[in-house]
Amino acid sequence: MAHDVFISYSTKNTEYADAVCKKLEDNGIECWIAPRNIKTGTNYAKEIMDGLKSAKLVVLIFSKDAQESEYVNNEIDTAFSKNGQPIVALKVDDSFPEKQMEFFLKNSQWLDASPTALKKENKTLDSCYDQLVGDVQRILDGKTPVLGSGGVGNIVIPGKEKGFFDKYKWPIVIAVILLIAVGGFLAYSNMNGQSSSGSNETGMSIGYIGLEKYGDAYTYFVFGDIAEGFSNSSSDVIHIDYYDNSGKVVKSSNTKIGDVDGNILGSVDVNKKDIVKVSVQLQNKDKKVLYSVESDNIIEQ
């Protein structure tokens, strides 16, 4: 089901996200927001990626907490790099985007609702929400957001139109770096005699394991990369075992190669925060292990 807006935010900024969602929907703009739009018993990560893909634009509740959340970074990366969706950032604290977030948001629409801006402009959060509604509606209507007055505070700063090279310079640089990294990975794999699914192998790796708490439950997301051509069959499965301190498998997940969305290889929901390591295997339809890799790099969101 298509939505107008996907709301990306850190769980530490839930109050802002809920207020923005209510304000937009009170004005007829349909929103997708977690965990409200996650169906019971479904794959949490896949539902988020499906919700993101179905939206026309993304509203980011930007803050220091959002910037430090790998999960939020993954959503914005997907919106920017894969989906090409407009991103409207509502800044709710006095921090500024850095590193990859600065790159993602460099040409995005901005609305400054930080405490400093509110005091300087003598405005309220509610007035910022009203302006956000107007700006989002104009973007949905194919129009340019209206600039505020004064050049500071609660205004929308439109992105500067760039030439072809300037616009795609960083994606080209990143692509070259990735090609070099994949080449190094292949050389390492060949030196260490790792198994593969065939001559088309170019690499599978785990970036990190994300941990998020939702209510009384915990969700572990395994983020990684599967290079094109690594698997020769859409029926191959990414099987993930999740281990506790005793070496016992707490849970397992299975994702078909054809169902992998973005950089999320799999996820599970558990009642206790007891997973310390994962083992990721590429298996064929007969459950034969074609390749495996492990990681204990857990990052709490």
Which amino acid type is present at position 46? Answer: K
Collapsing DSSP to helix, strand or coil, 176 comes out as helix
Whether residue 218 contacts residue 270, with contact meaning beta carbons closer than 8 Å, is answered with yes
- Locate tokens 């920017």: which residue? 80
| Neighbour tally for 250: CB within 10 Å | 17
In this structure, the strands spanning 109-112 and 87-91 are parallel
Which of 175, 9, 1 is CA-nearest to residue 76?
9
Distance CA 238, CA 255 (A): 5
DSSP structure string for 59-85: EEEESHHHHH-HHHHHHHHIIIIII--
Whether residue 35 is preceded by a cis peptide bond, meaning omega within 30 degrees of 0, is: yes
Distance CA 211, CA 194 (A): 29
Distance CA 263, CA 281 (A): 16
Q: DSSP character for 146?
A: P
> What pLDDT is recorded for position 53?
92
Longest dimension (CA), the chain: 66
Which of 60, 56, 53 is CA-nearest to residue 9?
60
Q: Which two tokens stand for residue 290?
A: 């074609």
> What pLDDT is recorded for position 155?
36
Q: Where are the beta strands (DSSP E) in the chain?
A: 3-8, 31-32, 55-62, 87-91, 109-112, 204-214, 217-226, 237-243, 249-256, 264-270, 277-283, 289-295, 298-300
> What pLDDT is recorded for position 217?
85
Q: Tell me the pTM.
A: 0.52
Phi, psi torsion values for 72, nearest 5 degrees: -65, -40
Render the burial of 258-282: b for 16+ CB within 10 Å, e for the rest: eebbbbbbbbbebeeeebebbbbbb
- Locate tokens 């192998």: which residue? 201
Which pLDDT tens digit goes with each residue over 29-41? 999 998 888 888 7
Residues in the chain with pLDDT < 70? 1, 144-173, 182-202, 260-262, 301
> What pLDDT is recorded for position 5?
95
Which of 131, 137, 76, 130 is CA-nearest to residue 107?
76
In this structure, the strands spanning 217-226 and 237-243 are unpaired
| Neighbour tally for 184: CB within 10 Å | 11
Which of 264, 228, 226 is CA-nearest to residue 77?
264
